[in-house]
Amino acid sequence: MPGKLKAKIVAGRHLPVMDRASDLTDAFVEVKFGNTTFKTDVCPKSLNPQWNSEWFKFEVDDEDLQDEPLQITVLDHDTYSANDAIGKVYIDIDPLLYSEAASVISGWFPIYDTIHGIRGEINVIVKVELFNDLNRFRQSSCGVKFFCTTCIPQCYRATLVHGFVEELVVNEDPEYQWIDRIRTPRASNEARQRLISLMSGELQRKIGLKVLEMGGNAVVGYLQCFDLEGESGLVVRAIGTACTLDKLSSGSAPNTNTHMHPNTAPASNACNSPSKDGKEPVFVEDLPSSSGPPTPFRALPTSSSPPPFSPSKPCSRQSSSSDTDLSLTPKTGMGSGGSAGKEAGPLRTLLRQQTQTALEQREFPFFTLTSFPPGFLLHVGGVVSARSVKLLDRIHNPALGNTRSYKLLDWNSVTADEPETRDAWWEEIRQEIKSHARALGCHAVVGYSESTSICEEVCILSASGTAAILNPRYMREGCLDIGCTDHRFEEPSPPNCGFCHIPYDELNMPFPAQLTYCYHCRRQKVPDVLFTTIDLPSEAAVAGKGCLIQARLCRLKKKAQGEANATAISNLLPFMEYELHTQLMNKLKLRSMNALFGLHIQISVGENMLLGLASATGVYLTALPAPGGIQIAGKTPGDLSSEHISSIQKRINDTIAVNKELYQINPPKLFALDPEVFCGINMELAEEGVGSPIPEPRHRSRLFRSHSESSDELSELDLSHGKKDAFVLEIDDTDAVEDIHSLLIDAPPPTGFYSCNTENMPGISNWTSGVQMFTSVRVLRLSNANLTNQGLNKIFTDLCENLLKSFYFKLRSMIPCCLCHLNFTVAVPEEELIQVTVTAVAMTYDKEQTQEKTAEKPVNKGSLEAEEQLQFPLELCADSSSSNIQTASKISGVGESTNMSPRAASVDYGSFADRCSTWLELLRLKAHTIRRGSVKTSRRTQSLAHSVSSLERCSPLQEGRSRSLRSSRSFGGSSVTVVKMTPLSFLPGTRIIKYLGIINMFFIRETTSLREEGGVSGFLHSFIAEVFAMVRAHVAALGGNAVVSYSMKECVFMENPNKNQAQCLINVSGDAVICISETDQESSASTANTGQTGGSETDGAT
């Protein structure tokens, strides 16, 4: 059944001059949807045309509504020659298809041209009338909501989490079609933009269908990526987590500090589980069998996992042994906790599993979410990851170059049994991940993500996640009403340490891992180090603050073609993983922390090198044992002078001490820590050499490497240097010295700054309203051809460090502030180039409160050491609001007064955006009163400044009117809605009241006059600014005032300075939202800054 799409073209402004003779433009607009096109009249000789067109109506299938964008083209009318295009606007109408999202799209959109950039703006109104479709064979999935946010969105509660959904569509890249040789760059770019827009729409629709099939109504953690495979085509793929979400009534909105909802709500009967179709997600089916309370000491009857090498898991084996496939797939699973391997699947569960494997064949117990409602996550095993090197071949596509017909064919699953599809590749990787998780005794993978890196015809597919055990109750219907308040576990694992307890079987561990009793509850075992890809659970007990930890690595490789190249790469991968892991571990120790969250390892392939970048947020979990120090040892006593070694050792120890201070890591000394505090006490070991210097190895970390092609054996790579302790750094050659130096080179952020790459900064929660999202790109040209690995490493490390330093400097006016969600992406666009792209947000916080905390610690510490006070860490993070002000007064003398003035200044600037939106309200009011006098149409979104400019040319203004105009201007007449952007799922100080839909935009920009546009930097600078502007305009047109979970998925930059040309592709996504300032703020938070934020209480309530 169709829907009706209506569009109206209102006006244009700031159009470019298209007619040199008159310095004016004769503009008209073409509105196109599908194959239907409408035109407006020509508005002659105006740079600010008023078309005020009729409503153009398109009657279309809702399937098309989901796939197609509305395409608006602004042209300059030319009587004698072809009309010149000024630019285009693509409007994704998907947000209009949900019942509760936006109802109208209306506002000013930048007119975008792929060659010239933004050229003026156009005011458009779009509406959709949708007729309900009850046809069960329908191919549209209107009404399924999509969220980029990787947690349960604010103002919703999850009644059911169904599980993993994935889909990919392929097509030929228009850039590589023969026609590209004869068409203009503009036509080629537009064809590409349009195609990707179509493919994203189609992908979203297909995922939506899968969700409906599962009985869900939303996709959370939606991650869409595209692979530009060049000659072999274009792949758009997406993964997400299907959920059933219920909208919370605005009255029961949760407070903002925990941007997750207590998931205690009763299950709605809104969705009936379509269990008959046999595609029920894993947990719904299998968890009844594990009805007994899960005990963490025994490997959970992970019914979701088939025995590792049962014939029921043929997928990865088959495809990798096929001749056409390049069988070089080192998939490495990395888990700090290690794996139980084959032993993990106890025999007793074998039978039942086999019966279920048929069901599970296509299902993956994966979740793209990174933070969860309290009680959802029971235990975390560790990071699991898999990589696979593939040779790209032309994608088998029965209908090349025509998505429409392709889609139909695909729907009939013509391609489904084609073994060479990208589907099969990913399937293989996911199976790998699944088996790694099983090896860790876990039945699920959370914080799951997938990525690729392509260079010429070689492609590295990567997937990673965190093995975990989830609370089955969230998987099943009807159980939620019991909620987490009730008899959830008999095992009384407290929420702030429970997730650290090992999920795997202690007795069956194939390696000697160092387990200790949990430092919190003393009841269950915990590993000594925990690596995860998820966010720090809000209930976790943490000491001090977190910090960004990065491992960076460059490896040269020989240039090669085809299989030889792929072999070389796959041979290098495990070494890179190993080294990155070692670096991470050492840096973690150096900061005296014991857990990593948000770990993301990216390996990027170039023609002659591989780049590896691992980012994570280090934190000190009080439930885990205190980390040991780092020992320096010479290979043989005679190797290097012991003085030299001890001087390095001293530097390291000093650094650790400084870092402890810096990150305020003063863990409560709960129990007598036998030989735990051994940081640097074993100095004499330096001379003892390799043998077995440390009595009990403190750390084990492992990296599993499976050669799926050679055998079905898991060949294991022990990351812990055999029997040696991982913390012993051996100095056997100059390289090792270099390594240690590079370890120490990471400068801590300057005072007033913290950094992390997760959603929430461990140790800071008292955000103020200052928010600054930014994107930075840096490309380095390696001029020296004969670089060593060491030299490259240094260059790469310096590049990343300098970027961070730049950020600190640029954002110094926001101090005290924290850089959150620092997302680094590396690429090797050309042989000698290294590109690093960073997107992050700087947020200000209230320093006083954190000072209270720090002041509190030393005060309490004294007493703590005497009496073992278990409760203390709980208090510390559970209710920071109650941190007493009396302690603050103790340090107030110097610290406060010196810190006051910069803070006041920065808060002032930060809260500025809030204020200006209140002004906006005020201005709108004024605009109305002004317009009453004039004959202008009074549309809500019509800007004040515009009405002003139309009055400008009027001769003598009446005194009164001109005065009122002027005064409103001097208020700062911004008529443009302020749109905040953040990569996080929340905006501090505000509450999201409505999600308006997903923003997913793809732009290409090209230039043939690079020098004139200010070189590559000028070109990219303006392009990124334009992309921001277009995102903001779309959000504002939807009625929103912020973008959350914003990310720049892709930033592909190519240049040819000799030809004076450059091209750039950018893909961004996020959730458009309306947020309002938090009015019911806790009284404790109302310290100094409420006066400043108070002025913004009504902002955004448009």
Partner 1 sequence: MSVELDVFVGNTTIMDEEVYQLWLDGYTVNDAVKVRMEGGVMDECEASKDVLLSDTMDQYRTFQMCERLLHSPAKLANQLLFQIPPHRQIMLIERYYAFDDTFVREVLGKKLSKGTKKDLDDISAKTSVTLKSCRRQFDNFKRVFKVVEELKGPLVENIRQHFLLSDKLARDYAAIVFFANNRFETGKRKLQYLSFQDFAFCAGQLISNWTVGAVDNMVEDMDEHAFQTLPSLRGKTKVFIEMEGSFKNLSRGLINIAAKLTNTKDVRDFFIDLVEKFIEPCRSDRWSAADMKLYLTHYTNSAHILDTFKHQVVWDRYMGVVKSCIFKMYHD
**Contact set for partner 1, span 974-1003 (CB under 8 A):** 974-976, 978-981
Smallest distance, partner 1 to C-beta of residue 706, A = 38
Residue whose C-alpha is closest to residue 305's, from 349, 368, 369: 349
Q: What is the dihedral of CA 238, 239, 245, 250, to 10 degrees?
A: -60
Of positions 349, 622, 775, 1069, contacts partner 1 by CB under 8 A = 775
Smallest distance, partner 1 to C-beta of residue 704, A = 37
Of positions 16, 49, 110, 873, contacts partner 1 by CB under 8 A = 110
Q: How would DSSP label each residue in 498-566?
A: GGGS--S-STT-SS---EEE-TTTSSSEEES-EE-SSPPPTT--EEEEEEEEEEEEEEE-----HHHHH
d(CA 826, CA 810): 22
Can you name the residues that pair with 463 across neighbouring β-strands?
386, 450
AA letter at 327: S
The nearer residue to partner 1, 526 or 1016, going by C-beta atoms, is 1016
The nearer residue to partner 1, 526 or 842, going by C-beta atoms, is 842
The nearer residue to partner 1, 602 or 942, going by C-beta atoms, is 942
Smallest distance, partner 1 to C-beta of residue 1066, A = 11
Smallest distance, partner 1 to C-beta of residue 901, A = 14
**Structure-token pair, residue 799:** 């590049």
Smallest distance, partner 1 to C-beta of residue 975, A = 5
d(CA 589, CA 626): 10
- Binders of partner 1 among 923-962, rule CB under 8 A? 943, 945-946, 948-949, 952-953, 955-957, 962
Smallest distance, partner 1 to C-beta of residue 449, A = 24
Burial 1017-1026 (b: 16+ CB within 10 A, else e): eebbebbbeb
- Binders of partner 1 among 899-918, rule CB under 8 A? 909, 912-913, 916
- Binders of partner 1 among 1012-1031, rule CB under 8 A? 1014, 1016-1018, 1020-1022, 1024-1026, 1028-1029
- Contact pattern for partner 1 over residues 617 through 656, marking x by CB under 8 A: ----------------------------------------
Smallest distance, partner 1 to C-beta of residue 605, A = 20
Answer positive or negative: Cα dihedral of 813, 815, 820, 826.
positive
Smallest distance, partner 1 to C-beta of residue 259, A = 20
- Contact pattern for partner 1 over residues 399 through 438, marking x by CB under 8 A: ----------------------------------------
Of positions 576, 965, 1004, 1073, contacts partner 1 by CB under 8 A = 965
- Contact pattern for partner 1 over residues 869 through 898, marking x by CB under 8 A: ------------------------------
Can you name the residues that pair with 58 across neighbouring β-strands?
5
**Structure-token pair, residue 163:** 């599980």
Query: How many residues interact with partner 1 (rule CB under 8 A)?
Result: 79
- Binders of partner 1 among 513-542, rule CB under 8 A? none
Distance (Å) of CA 816 to CA 753, 853, 900, 904, 1083? 6, 15, 10, 10, 22
The nearer residue to partner 1, 976 or 1101, going by C-beta atoms, is 976
Q: Which stretch binds partner 1 (CB under 8 A): 352-360, 478-486, 774-782, 1086-1094?
A: 774-782
- Binders of partner 1 among 816-835, rule CB under 8 A? 833, 835
Check if the beta carbon of residue 639 is closer than 8 Å to that of residue 731. Answer: yes
The nearer residue to partner 1, 581 or 946, going by C-beta atoms, is 946
- Binders of partner 1 among 712-751, rule CB under 8 A? 747, 750
Helix ranges (H only) for 843-911 are: 847-866, 872-878, 885-891, 897-910
The nearer residue to partner 1, 784 or 886, going by C-beta atoms, is 784
Strands 105-113 and 117-130: antiparallel
Phi, psi angles (nearest 5°) of residue 166: -145, 155
How many CB atoms within 10 Å of residue 19?
Answer: 14
The nearer residue to partner 1, 263 or 775, going by C-beta atoms, is 775
d(CA 1079, CA 857): 31
Distance (Å) of CA 1060 to CA 168, 302, 1009, 1018, 1063? 36, 59, 6, 13, 11
Burial 970-1003 (b: 16+ CB within 10 A, else e): eeebbbbbbbbbbbbbbbbbbbbebbbbbbbbbb
Q: Which stretch binds partner 1 (CB under 8 A): 198-206, 381-389, 973-981, 1076-1084?
A: 973-981
Q: Which helix (H) or strand (E) holds 7?
A: strand 2-13
Check if the beta carbon of residue 299 is closer than 8 Å to that of residue 438. Answer: no
Smallest distance, partner 1 to C-beta of residue 44, A = 21
Smallest distance, partner 1 to C-beta of residue 966, A = 6
The nearer residue to partner 1, 73 or 1041, going by C-beta atoms, is 1041
d(CA 682, CA 804): 35
Smallest distance, partner 1 to C-beta of residue 619, A = 24
Grouping H, G, I as helix, E, B as strand and the rest as coil, residue 428 is helix
Grouping H, G, I as helix, E, B as strand and the rest as coil, residue 275 is helix
The nearer residue to partner 1, 170 or 1030, going by C-beta atoms, is 1030
The nearer residue to partner 1, 871 or 955, going by C-beta atoms, is 955
| Cα angle, residue 111 at apex, residues 110 and 117 outer, rounded to 5° | 95
d(CA 305, CA 892): 57
Of positions 235, 585, 773, 888, contacts partner 1 by CB under 8 A = 773
Smallest distance, partner 1 to C-beta of residue 777, A = 5
Smallest distance, partner 1 to C-beta of residue 781, A = 5
Q: Which stretch binds partner 1 (CB under 8 A): 239-247, 669-677, 766-774, 1080-1088?
A: 766-774
- Binders of partner 1 among 6-35, rule CB under 8 A? 13-14
d(CA 246, CA 83): 50
The nearer residue to partner 1, 340 or 777, going by C-beta atoms, is 777
Of positions 364, 845, 1002, 1053, contacts partner 1 by CB under 8 A = 1053
The answer to whether 809 contacts partner 1 (rule: CB under 8 A) is: yes
Cis peptide before 266 (omega within 30 of 0): no
